[in-house]
């Protein structure tokens, strides 16, 4: 029997890139993490949590879907937010299909119309995932679908719950069938092309968001100062800095007698340990850099 070639093996295989787009807080990052089965993109109840395109790879028996997670698209004014939205919209030119995620419980008309305007300009197939269906009555869903299908011609509309995993397999199946035929782009064990130190910084930023309630606006950036593996001791040592814009914000992040910073560090350390699969020593510092989110040099230094 002749040796099976790579071409034979992947004769009916499908692979391609998919951009996840949506208004802020539609649940894009939660949906990506659910499809991957791993935590790669940070999540928070606060909109505009995701600031960078994050690539995640979903492996299926007959396909490989390479996801680009984008920041929530909205009509931006500040330099930071303008940059964030540019990142999101530029992703549309680099993909095979677009997954538009919409929140069935809340309609952000301005952001949604901006997205629809941009989706109409490109010729890629668009699949609509109506997220958070666990929060509405079943008989409300047909009306929501009808309202959306009047705005754009979607390849398919799939109601889902990213939180509970409802209809995620159906959504992946629809996406798979829309991909071009071709061999996989990444090896079977690849989940993301993002370095671990980047994900570590994102995890720390997520914990700062989650644990400071409404008190901290989007003036938090995180840099990893050192990320080193000590194989003899079986530990990863990470020193990170949380950057804020005002002294009052620094006080909130640190908390009374350093309690809040310890909480942020402990929660982040546990998530990072799950990611790297070993013990982690994490030390955090807080720095004030006045008005960094309006400073183009600082934006570049913090990776925006």
Tell me: the pLDDT tens digits for 208-251?
888 887 666 567 888 888 888 877 788 888 899 999 888 888 99
Mean pLDDT of 11-15: 90
pLDDT of residue 39: 55
CA distance 267 to 276: 15
The last residue of a domain, from among 146, 178, 210: 178
What crossing angle do the helices spanning 196-211 and 259-276 adopt, rounded to 10°? 140
Whole domain around residue 279: which residue ranges? 196-301
**Is 304 or 244 the better-scoring residue by pLDDT?**
244
pLDDT of residue 232: 76
pLDDT at 205 over 80: yes
> Are 127 and 272 in a shared domain?
no
> Are 214 and 296 in a shared domain?
yes
Claim: this prediction has a pTM higher than 0.75: no
Residue 1 lies in a domain: no
The CATH code of the domain that includes 200 is 3.30.300.20
> Which range, of 13-27, 87-101, 239-253, 272-286, averages the lowest pLDDT?
87-101
> Are 164 and 18 in a shared domain?
yes
Residue 186 lies in a domain: no
> Are 70 and 212 in a shared domain?
no
Q: For the chain, how many structural domains are there in total?
A: 2
pLDDT of residue 76: 45
The last residue of a domain, from among 129, 145, 178: 178
> Are 139 and 230 in a shared domain?
no
> Are 116 and 36 in a shared domain?
yes
Pick from 44-58, 76-90, 260-274 the range whose average pLDDT is largest: 260-274
Ordered DSSP codes for the chain: -PPPPHHHHTTT-EEEEEEEEESTTSSHHHHHHHHHTS--S---SSSS---S-EEEEEEETTEEEEEEE-PPP----SHHHHHHHHHHHHGGGG-SEEEEEEETT---HHHHHHHHHHHHTS-S-EEEEEE-GGGS-GGGHHHHHHHHHTTS--SEEEE-BTTTTBTHHHHHHHHHHHSPB---SS-TT---SS-HHHHHHHHHHHHHHHHTTTSS-S--EEEEEEEEEETTTTEEEEEEEEEESSHHHHHHHH-GGGHHHHHHHHHHHHHHHHHHTSEEEEEEEEEE-TTGGG-HHHHHHTT-
- Mean pLDDT (the chain) is 79
> Are 134 and 282 in a shared domain?
no
> Are 106 and 174 in a shared domain?
yes
> Are 168 and 223 in a shared domain?
no
> Are 94 and 173 in a shared domain?
yes
Residue 184 lies in a domain: no
pLDDT at 300 over 70: no
State percent of the chain over pLDDT 70: 74
Residue 126 lies in a domain: yes
> Which range, of 23-27, 75-79, 90-94, 162-166, averages the lowest pLDDT?
75-79
> Are 171 and 294 in a shared domain?
no
Residue 158 lies in a domain: yes
pLDDT at 42 over 60: no
Mean pLDDT of 86-113: 78
Residue 183 lies in a domain: no
- pLDDT bin (cut points 50, 70, 90) of residue 29 is confident
Joined together, the tokens standing for residue 128 give: 């609509």
Residue 185 lies in a domain: no
pLDDT of residue 174: 97
The CATH code of the domain that includes 66 is 3.40.50.300
> Are 125 and 200 in a shared domain?
no
The last residue of a domain, from among 126, 149, 178: 178
Mean pLDDT of 15-43: 78
The residues that bridge with 159 in the sheet, in sequence order, are: 130
- pLDDT bin (cut points 50, 70, 90) of residue 22 is confident
- pLDDT bin (cut points 50, 70, 90) of residue 48 is very low
**Is 75 or 181 the better-scoring residue by pLDDT?**
181
Residue 295 lies in a domain: yes
pLDDT of residue 282: 94
């Amino acid at each position: 029997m002749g040796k099976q070639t790579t071409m034979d093996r992947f004769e009916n295989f499908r692979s391609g890139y998919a951009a996840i787009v949506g208004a802020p807080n539609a649940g894009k990052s939660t949906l990506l993490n659910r499809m991957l089965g791993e935590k790669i993109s940070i999540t928070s109840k606060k909109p505009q949590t995701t600031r960078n395109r994050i690539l995640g790879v979903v492996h299926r028996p007959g396909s490989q879907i390479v996801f680009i997670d984008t920041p929530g698209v909205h009509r931006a004014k500040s330099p930071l937010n303008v940059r964030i939205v540019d990142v999101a919209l530029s992703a549309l030119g680099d993909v095979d299909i677009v997954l538009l995620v919409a929140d069935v419980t809340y309609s952000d008309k301005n952001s949604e119309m901006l997205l629809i305007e941009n989706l109409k300009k490109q010729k890629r197939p668009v699949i609509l995932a109506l997220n958070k269906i666990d929060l509405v009555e079943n008989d409300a869903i047909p009306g929501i679908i009808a309202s959306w299908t009047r705005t754009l011609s979607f390849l398919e509309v799939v109601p889902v719950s990213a939180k509970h995993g409802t209809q995620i397999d159906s959504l992946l199946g629809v996406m798979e069938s829309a991909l071009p035929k071709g061999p996989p782009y990444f090896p079977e064990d690849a989940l993301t092309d993002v370095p671990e130190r980047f994900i570590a910084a994102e995890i720390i930023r997520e914990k700062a968001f989650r644990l400071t309630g409404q008190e901290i606006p989007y003036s938090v950036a995180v840099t990893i100062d050192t990320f080193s593996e000590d194989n003899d001791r079986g530990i990863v040592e990470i020193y990170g800095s949380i950057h804020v814009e005002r002294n009052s914000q620094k006080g909130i992040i640190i908390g009374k007698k350093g309690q809040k910073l310890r909480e942020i560090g402990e929660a982040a350390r546990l998530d990072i340990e799950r990611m790297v699969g070993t013990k982690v020593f994490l030390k955090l510092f807080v720095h004030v850099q006045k008005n960094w989110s309006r400073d183009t040099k600082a934006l570049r230094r913090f990776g925006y």
